[in-house]
Amino acid sequence: MNLARLVLREIRHRKINFALSLLGAALAVAAVLATIGALRSHDLQTEAIISDMEAATQSEMKKLEDEIRKSMKGLGFNIYIFPAGQEMSEVYADGYASKTMPESYVSKLADSKIVTVNHLLPSLTQKLEWPEQKRTIILIGVRGEVPIAHRDPKAPLIDPVVPGHLVLGYELHRSLGLKKGDPVTFMGKEFTVGDAYEARGSKDDITIWMNLGECQELLGKVGLINAIQALECNCATLDRLGEIRAELMQILPDTQIIETQSTALARAEARNQAAATARQQIESKKAQRAQLKAERQKLAGVLLPAATLVSMIWIGLLTFINVRERLPEIGILRAIGVKGRTILGAFLVRAIIAGLVGGAMGAAVAKFVSPTILPKEWLIAICLAPLLAALGAWLPSLAAAQRDPADVLRHD
C-alpha cells in the first residue's frame, strides 16, 4: 500500500469532487492561455493591418507616380535647356529659342551620371507658315524621351512621332477637316495624320508635331535642336535650380537653364506629401493599435490574477469539502499511525494531479481556441497549474493533517 494508490483510489471514488477540481484548473489555464493568445493575435493582426496599409500605400504611390508621369505630358516640363547665347526675352515672346545647339548634347546628357533630372526630351521648335494652307503654325520636331543610360528605362513621357506622320493640334485639324489617317502635304512633303489632339486651349492647338529628323531636314537644321526639356528634380535642397544648374553646367557648359511649369514639380512634391501622409496614417494606426493593446494588457493584468485566484480558491474549497467528507478516514489513519505529513501529502498530491490534468486539458482547449500560443507558454501553464492547485489546497490539507485523531474519533 502506498500514497499514490490511496490517492488514485480516492479520486476514482469521489469523481465529482475531482472533476470539479479539474474543471477549475482547466478553466483557469484556458483563460490565461487564451488571453495570452488573444494578445498575441492582436499583435499579429496589427502587423497584418500595417503590412496591408503599407502595401496599399506603396501601390497608391506607384499609381500616383504613373498618373503624374502621364499628366506631365499635358503639364509640360519644369526645366528647359537652351543654347548659351539665346536671348530669353525672345524665348518668352515667341515661346521657343531661335538659336540652336547640337542634338548630340542630349546624348551627352543621357550618357552622363546626371542625377538631378529624370527625363530628357530634345526638340526643334519653330513658328512658320504652312505654305500649302497659308496659315501660321508652330512646328515641333520631337524624338521622344532619350533614356538616361545609368537608370532603369521608363515608359516614354511623350510618344515619338513616327516618320512620315504628323500630329495636329485641335484648331488645325478642326479647321482643315483632317482626321487620323488622312494624307496631308506639308512644306511639299507628303505625310499622314498620325493623331489629332483634343482642344487644349493653348498654342498646342495650332501646333504640328513631327519626327525630329524630318523636322530638321525640312527646316534645314540637320543635327540641331533648340531645346532640351527635362522633368523632375531629385534635389537634396530647396535650391533645386541651383543644383540642376551646377550639375548640368559641368556636362553642358555651353547651355543655359530655366525653370518653367512648376506645377509639374508641385505634383511630384504632392506625391511625396501623400507618401508622408500615408506614413503618418500608418504611424497613427500603429499608435492606436498599441494603445488598444495596452488597454487589453491592463485588463488582462486584472483578469489573469483574478482567474488564477478564483481557481485556487475553488480548488481550496473543493479540498475543504473533501477533507470534511473524509474526517473519519483521517481519524482512523492518524489513529493507526499514519503521520500528519502523509495525510498532508495525500491531499496535496490529489490537488497536484487535478492541477496537472486540468492544466493539460485547459491548455488543449486554449490551443483549439487560440492557435497562436507558444509551446513554451503551454509548458509553463501546465507546470504552474499543479503548483497553484497545491497552493490553493494547502490550507485545508494542512488543517486535515493537523486534525486531532482523538477529537475526530470521539465525535464520530
Partner 1 sequence: MTESINSNSPDASADTEVRPPALCLDEVNKQYRTAEGHVQALDEVSLTLENGEFVALHGPSGCGKSTLLLMAGGLLSPDSGTLTIAGGHPYALGAEARAAFRALHVGFVFQQFHLIPYLDVLDNVLVGELAGTGGDHRERARELLDAFQLGHRLHHVPSKLSIGEQQRVALARAFLRSPALILADEPTGNLDTENAAIILEHLGRFAASGDGAVLMVTHDDRARAAASRSVEMRDGQLV
List b or e across 246-267, with b for residues whose CB sees 16 or more CB atoms inside 10 angstroms: ebbeeebeebbbbbebeebbeb
- Shortest Cβ distance from residue 5 to partner 1 (Å)? 7
**Cβ proximity to partner 1, 187 vs 321, nearer residue:** 321
Q: Is 340 in the site for partner 1 (CB under 8 A)?
A: yes
Q: Is 329 in the site for partner 1 (CB under 8 A)?
A: yes
Q: Is 328 in the site for partner 1 (CB under 8 A)?
A: yes
How many residues belong to the site for partner 1 (CB under 8 A)? 29
**Cβ proximity to partner 1, 245 vs 334, nearer residue:** 334
What is the crossing angle of helices 15-75 and 262-325, to 10°? 180
Q: Is 338 in the site for partner 1 (CB under 8 A)?
A: yes
- Backbone φ/ψ region at 218: left (φ over 0), alpha (ψ -120 to 50), beta: alpha
If we measure between CA atoms, which residue out of 182, 212, 176, 185 comes closest to residue 194?
182
Q: Is 321 in the site for partner 1 (CB under 8 A)?
A: no
- Shortest Cβ distance from residue 352 to partner 1 (Å)? 18
List the beta bridge partners of residue 129: 136
- Shortest Cβ distance from residue 392 to partner 1 (Å)? 23
- Shortest Cβ distance from residue 340 to partner 1 (Å)? 7
Q: Is 318 in the site for partner 1 (CB under 8 A)?
A: no
Give Rg (Cα) of the chain.
Answer: 43
Binding track, positions 342-381, relative to partner 1; x by CB under 8 A: x---------------------------------------
Element (H, E) at 207: strand 207-211
Out of 149, 339, 369, 383, the only residue in the binding site for partner 1 (CB under 8 A) is 339
Residue 130 CA to residue 137 CA, distance in Å, equals 6
Q: Is 335 in the site for partner 1 (CB under 8 A)?
A: yes
Span from 92-100, 228-236, 295-303, 338-346 in contact with partner 1 (CB under 8 A): 338-346
Cβ within 8 Å of residue 318, ≥6 positions away: 17, 20, 21, 24
Span from 233-241, 250-258, 289-297, 324-332 in contact with partner 1 (CB under 8 A): 324-332
Out of 76, 129, 331, 351, the only residue in the binding site for partner 1 (CB under 8 A) is 331
C-alpha cell, 350: 490529489
Q: Is 15 in the site for partner 1 (CB under 8 A)?
A: no
Q: Is 53 in the site for partner 1 (CB under 8 A)?
A: no
C-alpha cell, 305: 490574477
Q: Is 16 in the site for partner 1 (CB under 8 A)?
A: no
Out of 2, 16, 93, 188, the only residue in the binding site for partner 1 (CB under 8 A) is 2
CB 187 within 8 A of CB 129: no
Residue 326 CA to residue 311 CA, distance in Å, equals 22
Q: Is 13 in the site for partner 1 (CB under 8 A)?
A: yes
If we measure between CA atoms, which residue out of 252, 232, 226 comes closest to residue 142?
226
Which whole-number Å values give the CA distances from 210 to 123, 159, 162, 216, 313, in the listed order?
10, 11, 8, 10, 92
Residue 321 CA to residue 400 CA, distance in Å, equals 11
Span from 174-182, 208-216, 335-343, 381-389 in contact with partner 1 (CB under 8 A): 335-343
**Cβ proximity to partner 1, 6 vs 227, nearer residue:** 6
Provide the 8-state DSSP code for 147. -
Span from 11-19, 25-33, 165-173, 376-384 in contact with partner 1 (CB under 8 A): 11-19
Span from 7-15, 65-73, 127-135, 351-359 in contact with partner 1 (CB under 8 A): 7-15
**Cβ proximity to partner 1, 122 vs 345, nearer residue:** 345
Element (H, E) at 269: helix 262-325
Residues that bind partner 1 (CB under 8 A): 1-3, 5-6, 9-10, 12-14, 328-329, 331-342, 405-406, 409-410, 412
